[in-house]
Chains A and B, each alone.
Chain A
Amino acid sequence: MADNIIELADLTKIYGTLTAVDHLSLTIRRGEVFALLGPNGAGKTTTILMMLGLTDPTSGSVRVCGVDSTTNPIEVKRRVGYLPENVGFYDDLTGLQNLVFTAKLNGIPGNEAEKKAGQLIEKVGLTAAARKKAGKYSRGMIQRLGLADVLIKNPEVIILDEPTLGIDPTGVREFLELIVELSKEQGLTVLFCSHHLHLVQQVCDRVGLFVNGRLLAEGNIQALAERLFSGSPYVIEAGIDHSISEAKGHPGEKYTAGWLNEIFKSVEGIIAIDIKDNKMMIQCSRDAGSDIAKTLVEAGAGLNYLNKKEYGLDDIYYRYFEGGEKS
């Protein structure tokens, strides 16, 4: 698992005045499921195009499976399966025929191509629709067919650009599980490209956050959260009941920040308090849950619930966006 299957070094792509990818360096190890996350226009697709040699980098180098994509794209494309965003198939051909066509383009003889296409169609669960015209497929079926299309060349790496676009939520989950299952089965390296957070979080080993052509952070989700929220690793969310307002020293109907700061002065390790309606976010440097609960109750506030927040990709993502937009 130690060898690097994708190596990007100082990769830069400039379109006129726009820098789409800015000195990107990234390595992905064999067998990894990696997700490249970023908003629209972050340069994800451009990066992928450069990996496949479909567009030339302005500077920097790309090596996929040890082959330079810029000088030898054919060899790279032989080993890498790419599912483009909004993939399409020939409407007049059946799903099976579409797959056979791709197989033949990859130099698989007709006989074997058909057999293989049949197996893959079954694997992605399209057996019933195999002989239907691709023009009649639903979006979800197209994506499944796209996955089969990517796998038919026996790739070492599969790159999926927004694979979950246009599929309904249950479909997304099934689809991603299918990808991971198939990749584990065949020992594939998977590179996702997405802005779909939750589900990617469930399936990928490592994440790279990509904004404005730059990789802001990479690592698994836990590592990312630790790095990002290093100042205040613990956030405790407290739900407050407004109907109980006989709090001692409570100025009125609302719990004001000043009052809260006052009562929490005694609790050690509190960094910041943020209050919105009946929800309170308390950032602290240690796990101060019990102290917070005690203080609140003693102060006579109605405490509905107390919740220690786990960081998900969502938070990481938005946190970075805030940063990205400000800069």
Chain B
Amino acid sequence: MNTNIRKNDTAMHPFRVIVHKEISDHVSSWRFIILISIIVLTCFGSMYTALSNIRTAITADDADAPFLFLKLYTLSDGTLPSFFVFVSFLGPLLGISLGFDTVNSEQNKGTLSRILSQPVHRDYLINAKFVASLTVISVLLFALGFLVMGLGMIIIGIPPTPEEFLRMVFFILLSILYVAFWLNLAIFFSVTFRQPATSALSCIAVWLFFTAFYNIIVNLIAKAIQPSVMASTNQVFRYQELILTLMRILPSELYSDATTVLLMPSVRSLGPLTMEQVVGAIPGPLPLSQSVLLVWPQITGLIAATVLCFVLSYVSFMRREIRSR
């Protein structure tokens, strides 16, 4: 904690005091240093592959050609995943590791009852912890995104257009939202379980379920209700919609849908399109506002999931009776 702050300062609001302390705790913890090094390394790895393939990536008929800069985030040669895939993979890890011991470690250390006996509202603690973790995540992701941008500028020598820049910022905001979902889930488990190990394990279990097992289940359902080859277009369409809806329960699916649209301006739809809809369409990039409009449901879904997790943890924390240890 920063004890020797500015002289002759006035009293800080208790909420800010807790946020300050939490941020400095995060930043100086080994856990955070390890995480940051993993993330930075993988991001540079993916940028390296993107940069070495960017020459061959642009073909004449590519609708995304004007958005060369965004390719830095999406390009991959198959050996290493691209930047945004890395973020979608490591984001949950980041959120979980910052959140899984938020409340229970305080309780186990015996500091929770001490803090709550100070003249602060009880929700300050959980809100401040959430805000602190979110700040750390935001700073980290923005720094990383801009770092990739800056290095890209130096190496390929082309500055991003304002639209590319905005798309990038949206992408980072979306990533923060996605990590915030996992952070809140982790906070919820940290309120629910007394042991940090249990809560970490539960978070990882949920994560694994969402990334691996849920797909398998959806595939099984898909196989079971597959319409026959003779089925009408309408039936096939509805079937496709159903499978997509099932997949979109996953926060990771929402995130990857949204990022794909934001980083590849030529993507026009996330669902099935009929021939009638496609006929006459000239392949070309969508403006940013249209891309955002396209993924608005996904963004709303992510926000809803995040808020839901936070409300759950908030309510269970407020109702909990705080005893020492």
Contacts and interface: CB of A to CB of B under 8 A. Distances in A.
Interface of A: 45, 49, 52, 54-55, 74-75, 77-78, 80-82, 84-93, 96-97, 100-102, 104-111, 114, 146, 149, 153, 161
Contacts of B11: 104, 107-109
B238 interface: no
Given A87-B114, A88-B111, A105-B119, A97 B325 contact: no
Contacts of A107: 11, 14, 119
B115 interface: yes
Nearest to B324: A84
Given A54-B322, A92-B25, A84 B113 contact: yes
Nearest to B6: A110
Contacts of A146: 114
Contact of B116 (A45, A54, A149, A161): A54
Interface in B58-93: none
B129 to A, nearest CB: 13
Q: Which of A55, A81, A101, A146: most chain B Cβ within 10 A?
A: A101
A105 B114 CA distance: 11
Contacts of B8: 111
Interface string B306-325: 00000000000000011111
B321 A74 contact: no
21 contacts: A54-B113, A54-B322, A75-B119, A82-B114, A82-B117, A84-B110, A85-B324, A86-B110, A88-B114, A89-B109, A89-B111, A89-B114, A102-B114, A105-B14, A105-B120, A109-B11, A109-B12, A110-B5, A111-B7, A114-B3, A153-B118
Interface in B221-263: none
Interface string B9-37: 11110100110010001001100000000
A96 B111 CA distance: 15
A71 B136 CA distance: 35
Chain A interface, DSSP helix/strand/loop, else mixed: mixed
Contacts of A54: 113, 116-117, 321-322
Contacts of A97: 1, 3
A92 B5 contact: no
A100 B113 CA distance: 17
A100 B4 CA distance: 10
A134 to B, nearest CB: 10
A105 B322 contact: no
Given A84-B114, A90-B109, A96-B3, A110 B324 contact: no
Given A89-B111, A92-B25, A106-B119, 20 more contacts: A54-B321, A74-B119, A77-B120, A81-B117, A82-B117, A84-B113, A84-B324, A91-B109, A92-B29, A93-B1, A101-B1, A101-B21, A102-B118, A104-B17, A105-B14, A105-B115, A106-B14, A109-B9, A110-B3, A153-B118
B12 A77 contact: no
A96 B121 CA distance: 24
Contacts of A45: 323-324
A80 B11 CA distance: 20
B113 to A, nearest CB: 4
A202 to B, nearest CB: 25
A275 B283 CA distance: 107
B324 to A, nearest CB: 4
A155 to B, nearest CB: 10
A146 B111 CA distance: 11
Interface of B: 1, 3-12, 14, 17-18, 21, 25, 28-29, 109-111, 113-121, 321-325
A100 B8 CA distance: 15
A100 B1 contact: yes
A88 B321 contact: no
Contacts of B9: 109-111
Contacts of B114: 82, 84, 87-89, 102, 146, 149
Contacts of B18: 105
A245 B11 CA distance: 81
A55 B318 CA distance: 11
What 7 A-B pairs are tightest by C-beta distance, nearest first? Answer: A88-B110, A82-B117, A84-B324, A78-B119, A88-B109, A84-B113, A105-B118
Contacts of B324: 45, 84-87, 161
Contacts of B28: 92
Nearest to B10: A109
Nearest to A52: B117
Nearest to A80: B117
Nearest to A15: B321
Nearest to B322: A54
A145 to B, nearest CB: 11
B118 A106 contact: yes
A102 to B, nearest CB: 6
B98 to A, nearest CB: 16
Nearest to A105: B118
A109 B5 CA distance: 10
Contacts of A91: 109
Contacts of B14: 104-107
| Central interface residue in B12, B25, B119, by most chain A CB within 10 Å | B119
Given A86-B110, A114-B3, A149-B114, A105 B17 contact: yes
B17 A101 contact: yes
A100 B111 contact: no
Contacts of B321: 49, 54-55
Nearest to B20: A104
B259 to A, nearest CB: 36
Nearest to B115: A105
A146 B113 CA distance: 12
A294 B119 CA distance: 66
B25 A87 contact: no
A49 B3 CA distance: 31
